[in-house]
Amino acid sequence: MASSSTDGTGTDLVPTPVKIIVAGGFGAGKTTMVGSVSEIPPLTTEEVLTEASAGIDDLSGVERKTTTTVALDFGRITISPRHVLYLFGTPGQARFWFMWDDLARGAIGTIVLVDTRRLETSFAAIDFFERRKIPFVVAVNCFDNAPRYTADEIREALVVPDRVPIVMCDARDRDSSKLALIRLVKHAMTVVPAHV
């Protein structure tokens, strides 16, 4: 994708793609976050939950959820003529985790979205990115009527090292989601070697 801007030499700039993953447990708000910040209509692979998923998908705490991501979510944010963020939301159910390796390939970092109503669903995502040494931040999606905890309480409950930032956010709110992305990019820049 060539930019219409030029670098002063009359040649078109091709923006550098920056890949970011939005991961987390089932129902944590990944699709909502990608949609709230994307400058394009997000690509989603949402499907209606059916009776076939009964006994497979744990809906405790998210009983009103009627759809689920079965492959990925995709959005884009143009930062400048030189940089474009590509956002990839992962599916949350365990049966779709086989896709995470492909989605994470080439990512500079990850937002692990956490739902305090179902904190235990966050462990798999945190473990996945820690094992692969992919920088991540924990973004606590502050759902209405969900229990509220301090960042220190979240860190202790999730056994997250001090070097991993924890931010509070509302995945429905564009500005709040953007702040979480900014925090991730800043964190990734401190831990990823400059030549990568």
Q: What is the DSSP string of the chain?
A: ---S-B-SSSPBP-PEEEEEEEEESTTSSHHHHHHHH-SSPPEEEEEE--GGGTTTS--TT-TT--EEEEEEEEEEEEEETTEEEEEEEPP-SGGGGGGHHHHHTT-SEEEEEE-GGGGGGGHHHHHHHHHTT--EEEEEE--TT-----HHHHHHHHT--TTS-EEEE-TT-HHHHHHHHHHHHHHHHHHS-TT-
Residues 6+ apart with CB under 8 A from 49: 57, 59, 65, 66, 67, 68
Q: Which residues pair with 24 in a beta bridge?
A: 113
Contact 144, 55 (CB under 8 A): no
Q: Which of 137-151, 165-179, 182-196 has the lowest mean pLDDT?
A: 182-196
Which of 73, 102, 90, 109 has its CA nearest to residue 187? 109
> What does the block give as tokens for 183?
């925090």
The single residue listed with the structure tokens 């405790």 is 60
Amino acid in the structure at residue 113 = L
What confidence score (pLDDT) does residue 64 get? Answer: 59
Q: Highest mean pLDDT: which of 18-32, 45-59, 97-111?
A: 18-32
Which of 87, 81, 84 has its CA nearest to residue 174? 87
Average pLDDT, the chain: 82
What confidence score (pLDDT) does residue 101 get? Answer: 85
Measured CA to CA, the distance from residue 167 to residue 172 in angstroms comes to 15
What confidence score (pLDDT) does residue 153 get? Answer: 96
Convert the pLDDT of each residue in 105-141 to its tens digit.
999 999 999 999 989 989 999 999 999 999 999 999 9
Q: What totals of helices (H) and strands (E) does the chain contain, helices first?
A: 5, 7
Convert the pLDDT of each residue in 5-17 to its tens digit.
455 554 567 888 8
Convert the pLDDT of each residue in 33-75 to its tens digit.
999 999 988 777 665 555 555 555 555 555 555 555 555 788 9
